[in-house]
Amino acid sequence: MDWTYQPLSISGVIVTPINSAEAGHLLGRARRLDRNALGQIHDHFFPEVYHYVLYRLGDEQTSLAIASKVFFSFLEALHRRPYHIRNIQYWLIDAAGRTVEEYLRQQADLKKTPPSSRLRLPIPEPEPPQAASGDNPAPAEPGSRLFCQALQKLPPSQQHLLAVRFAQNRSLEETAVIMGKSIQQVKKLEYAGFSALQKLLQDDVLQSQAPK
């Protein structure tokens, strides 16, 4: 099973990686609210944040809305506490993880709320999934409804790790840096997440194939 999304892109735009020195220079300019720097940060990191969210939720419209919300939060942080942001990538991915968790809590609460009492959320609800053709269940691949439903049953720390690691097919070393953990901690968390996710997917596939 392929757990990764391919290229770091949106609408065919391929993003060229930048090194830590370039990212640090961009952050320094962004703290001064340099418009060109802010534009470069958006153009470079938005696809990365979007794919992270898409890996966890599987819905393009919702993922775009959440990624946009993360960048608004980034701008607010630059206005209020610019020197609390020490690493652009770490801050954005961490914020994306927290925003996804907030969204999932909203969705869980929404399901418990009577329809007449529901408030309109700032992030759109995902579109209902289309039925699979024939008798075949939906594929348990990243981005599929089955995959995302299983992923969301994991502890948030495991969901976050798998999305950071595999949404952009990052190395263990890159993942450890972004998450602020040691490589051994990442390996341990990844193994636990993989094992639990594989079991959930196997159970869900078997359940979907069971006679009604």
| Domain map (residue ranges) of the chain | 9-123+137-209
> What mean pLDDT do residues 120-141 have?
47
Question: How far apart are alpha carbons 69 and 189 in whole angstroms?
Answer: 28
161-189 per-position pLDDT tens digit:
999 999 988 999 999 999 889 999 999 99
Return the axis-axis angle of helices 183-209 and 156-166, rounded to nearest 10°: 100
Question: How far apart are alpha carbons 197 and 163 in whole angstroms?
Answer: 12
pLDDT category of residue 156 using cuts at 50, 70 and 90: very high
Per-residue pLDDT at 129 exceeds 50: no
Q: Is the pTM of this model over 0.85?
A: no
More confident residue, 109 or 130: 109
